[in-house]
Amino acid sequence: MNSPVKIPDMSHLWMPFTANRQFKEAPRLLVAAKGMYYTSHDGRQILDGTSGLWCVNAGHGRSEIVEAISRQAAELDYAPSFQIGHPNAFLAASAIAQIMPAGMDRIFFTNSGSESVDTALKIALAYHRARGEGQRTRLIGRERGYHGVGFGGISVGGIGPNRKAFSGALIPGVDHLPHTHDLSKNANSHGQPEWGAHLADDLERIVALHDASTIAAVIVEPMAGSTGVLIPPKGYLERLRAITEKYGILLIFDEVISGFGRLGAATASELFGVTPDLITLAKGVSNASVPAGAVAVKHNIHDTIVGASAKGIEFFHGYTYSGHPLATAAILATLDIYKREKLFARAASLSPAFDTAAHKLEGGRHVIDVRNLGLVAGIELAPRPGAPGARAAEAFTKCFDQGLMVRYTGDTLAVSPPLIIDESQISQVFETIAAVLKTID
Ligand code: PMP
């Protein structure tokens, strides 16, 4: 136990995606973090079962990253990102390009996943325009997709509550593929479910409806994280790739969660052997130490946009903090850790133990599905009659009280620990969840 830290005045902060009134009645504050553990304000050690928000893949408080950031802050705190560069931005872009699928080696920097998504959608439109196909503006997302909270992201995203309040302002010309989760067909699958590849064929229906010549891009998370860990059925991504290629539609993989080792490879694209046209990144790119994001782009797409215009600015888009010195220093130090400690391979080698531990929950109290791949698992609970989501919310709170951080979305608990986790901590995660589920109605 560490000594408790006083809770500050909480009246001014409007917390994102939070039940503000409930939170303030029983706050959970974190005051320190190291390795696999957070320290809570009341002095307890909390095992991080979620890598923060799916982002601290190399574990907390990595001294190499801390030192790189502080050295950079002292040396060059900020450099304008338009028309002026600094070395680390170029070096960080090269380091990311090295671990992207072959040919996806042009990197555009952002500060978050939401910005990466909006950037990727704009690159897709700019690409078609540069090729003289400016009428290709339609975008296709997927039900239960999460692509951040920009207007582009919520428009292609498929989460009702995130869209409802803004429905009049969503970008026009967006369709959605069906999601691939069906408990009657693919419950309790280990890794990729057998059932569901055919759902990609719905893209043919959308193409028939609108004509391919109007469609710019399809965006999906190869593994949907935020809506409850939906693993792609075997063959599904391959079919999406084949159909998009057939019609000249760009394919965007949103790898904000699945990138940087979560599934046991640098990217889901690499793991599944399916190469999209653009990959959105954030979170693990900097181990969450400094806000950072990026879009990896096939070089021919970059070359088409950059080569198409007369000399001058080619792409009217960017952020004050694109390639920020602190972010790029953090990215370089982070990617170095991933490489040196072979953390993506570590995630792959731990995944059988993770699978075994997760599936011990199968058929347990309230559990109606366990699904997993690499170091991510979703544990779906039967909803409490008349109160969907309440059971998972209670499990989340009780886990936290028991010293374990998990996430919940709807009635699914999500587990996605840092890749430095060991086998005994993996057991601890799932045993704590099992014990907590026994205590709730
Ligand atoms: N895309 C995906 C797939 C995500 O999981 C997230 C965040 N969970 C985002 C985009 C948005 O990222 P950010 O919160 O950094 O804007």
**106 domain residue, yes or no:** yes
Mean pLDDT, the chain, integer: 97
Q: Which of 121, 269, 283 to mutate to test the pocket of ligand 1 (most atoms within 8 A of CB)?
A: 283
On whether both 330 and 371 belong to a single domain, the answer is no
> Is 80 exceeded by the pLDDT of residue 328?
yes
Domain containing 277: what range? 66-340
Q: Residue 20: count other Cβ atoms within 10 Å of its Cβ.
A: 11
Atom of ligand 1 nearest to the CA of 53: 8
Instruction: Name the domain count of the chain.
Output: 2
CATH of the domain at 186: 3.40.640.10
Q: Is 148 in the pocket of ligand 1 (CB under 6 A)?
A: yes
Average pLDDT over residues 223-252: 98
**DSSP E strand boundaries for 37-164:** 37-40, 45-48, 106-110, 138-142
Is the CB of residue 406 less than 8 Å from the CB of residue 224? no
In a shared domain, residues 177 and 285: yes
- Judge contact between 50 and 225, C-beta under 8 A: no
What's the pLDDT at 307?
87
Decide whether any atom of ligand 1 lies within 6 Å of the 113 Cβ. yes
- For residue 167, being part of any structural domain is answered with yes
Ligand 1 site, residue 221, Cβ cutoff 6 A? yes
Q: Would residue 389 count as lying in a domain?
A: yes
Which pLDDT does position 311 carry in this prediction?
A: 84
Instruction: Please identify, among 315, 340, 365, the residue that sits at the C-terminal boundary of a domain.
Output: 340
Residue that terminates a domain, selected from 340, 373, 390: 340
Q: How confident is the model at residue 400 (pLDDT cuts 50, 70, 90)?
A: very high
Confidence band, pLDDT 50/70/90 cuts, at residue 309? confident
Closest-CA residue to 193 (of 217, 144, 229, 218): 229
Mean pLDDT of 221-246: 98
226 lines ligand 1 (CB under 6 A): yes
pLDDT at 202 over 80: yes
d(CA 40, CA 57): 20
The verdict on ipTM greater than 0.90 is yes
Same domain, residue pair 297 and 411: no
DSSP code string of 332-343: HHHHHHHHHTTH
